[in-house]
């Protein structure tokens, strides 16, 4: 999140474009440099980030988080869209995975719950200043039961070579859930949750047409969002499938590609 990218986002917002972060992270772990100065309290805890918060006042109001499981109006602190895992279903999957060597985590109520001190410490090291929404719990299954809330997402970190394949086998018994796999972990969420579904719901809520929407992405979890946007922009570091469906390919994320794309949009 470079200075140039932030500057481009601020220019876009000042000219009346609605800026919407869309992330696989939970709301509490949105990049700290996007701190919104109009928000305080537990939804977006930006303590110690007042300088960014002041500069970004009014930058964005709506956030698509947890791979599209939730769309939040952070100004009003209300949910615009939700596509959650049922608590009982999440608890059942966690129980079914007890014998697999996995590190467990969950997104619940905009918080990133990580099981055990080691995993929580690793999360804080990875997220750095963005880890305000990371919380350590003794047992994720127990936390799900106690929360009495629906679950935005479960994450499973592979602690053995066979863990990934065993999790895939277990997931066959849960047809209402989707899973996205990387080499080190998997994200599990409701089949109704996607960035595309979330963006479409926000468009309906705001009365904005698909043709009036542009999105910028780089990962596989952005493919569904491309289907809901009128202009599709892939970063230079994007996966090949996303580039193949893009209207434009910009520079990579470490060469201010998002800023270039936004500047082109503003010139239009």
* Residue with the larger pLDDT of the pair 60 and 38: 60
d(CA 228, CA 68): 12
Task: Tell me the mean pLDDT in the region 77-87.
Answer: 95
* Residue with the larger pLDDT of the pair 251 and 53: 251
Q: Quick check: 113 and 29 in contact, CB under 8 A?
A: no
pLDDT, position 51: 61
Task: Tell me the mean pLDDT in the region 95-124.
Answer: 89
pTM of the model: 0.89
Flag the least confident range among 119-133, 152-166, 176-190, 251-265. Answer: 119-133
pLDDT level of residue 122 (50, 70, 90 thresholds): confident
Among candidates 66, 60, 64, which has minimal Cα distance to 26? 66
pLDDT, position 28: 85
Tell me the pLDDT tens digit for each residue of 217-246.
998 889 999 999 999 999 999 999 999 999
pLDDT, position 120: 79
Architecture in CATH for domain 3-83+194-267:
3-Layer(aba) Sandwich (3.40)
Token pair listed for 8: 């481009």
* Residue with the larger pLDDT of the pair 160 and 32: 160
User: Judging by beta carbons within 10 Å of its beta carbon (0-12, 13-18, 19+), is residue 172 exposed, middle or buried?
Assistant: exposed
For the cut 50, the answer to whether the pLDDT of residue 41 exceeds it is no
pLDDT, position 123: 73
Instruction: Give the Cβ contact number of residue 88 at 10 Å.
Output: 12
Token pair listed for 6: 């932030």
pLDDT, position 52: 60
**Domain parsing of the chain, residue ranges:** 3-83+194-267, 87-190
pLDDT, position 95: 95
* Residue with the larger pLDDT of the pair 34 and 252: 252
Question: Residues of the chain with pLDDT > 70: what percent?
Answer: 92
Strand 248-249 with 231-234, pairing: parallel
d(CA 180, CA 76): 31
Query: How confident is the prediction for the chain on average, in pLDDT?
Result: 89
pLDDT, position 49: 54
pLDDT, position 131: 74
Architecture in CATH for domain 87-190:
2-Layer Sandwich (3.30)
For the cut 70, the answer to whether the pLDDT of residue 170 exceeds it is yes
d(CA 91, CA 113): 14
The sign of the dihedral angle between the CA atoms of 26, 28, 34, 38 is positive
Instruction: Give the Cβ contact number of residue 248 at 10 Å.
Output: 15
């Amino acid at each position: 999140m470079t200075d140039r990218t932030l500057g481009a986002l601020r220019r876009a917002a000042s000219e009346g474009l609605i800026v919407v972060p869309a992330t696989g992270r939970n709301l509490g772990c949105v990049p700290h440099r996007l701190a919104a100065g109009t928000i305080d309290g537990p939804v977006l805890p930006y303590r110690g980030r007042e300088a960014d918060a002041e500069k970004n006042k009014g930058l964005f109001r709506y956030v698509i988080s947890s791979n599209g499981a939730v769309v939040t109006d952070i100004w009003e602190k209300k949910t615009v869209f939700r596509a959650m895992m049922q608590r009982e279903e999440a608890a059942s999957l966690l129980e079914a995975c007890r014998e697999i060597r996995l590190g467990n985590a969950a997104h619940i109520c905009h918080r990133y719950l990580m099981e055990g001190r080691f995993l929580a410490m690793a999360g804080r090291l990875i997220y750095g200043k963005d880890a305000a929404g990371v919380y350590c719990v003794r047992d994720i299954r127990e936390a799900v039961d106690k929360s009495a809330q629906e679950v935005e997402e479960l994450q499973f970190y592979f602690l053995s070579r066979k863990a990934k394949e065993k999790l895939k086998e277990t997931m066959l018994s849960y047809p209402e859930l989707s899973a996205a796999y990387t080499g080190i972990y998997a994200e599990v969420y409701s089949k109704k949750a996607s960035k595309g579904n979330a963006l479409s719901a926000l468009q309906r809520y705001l009365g904005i047409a698909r043709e009036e929407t542009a999105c910028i992405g780089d990962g596989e979890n952005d493919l569904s969002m491309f289907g809901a946007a009128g202009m599709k922009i892939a970063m230079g570091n994007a996966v090949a499938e996303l580039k193949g469906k893009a209207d434009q390919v910009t520079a990579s994320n470490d060469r201010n590609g998002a800023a270039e794309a936004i500047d082109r949009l503003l010139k239009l």
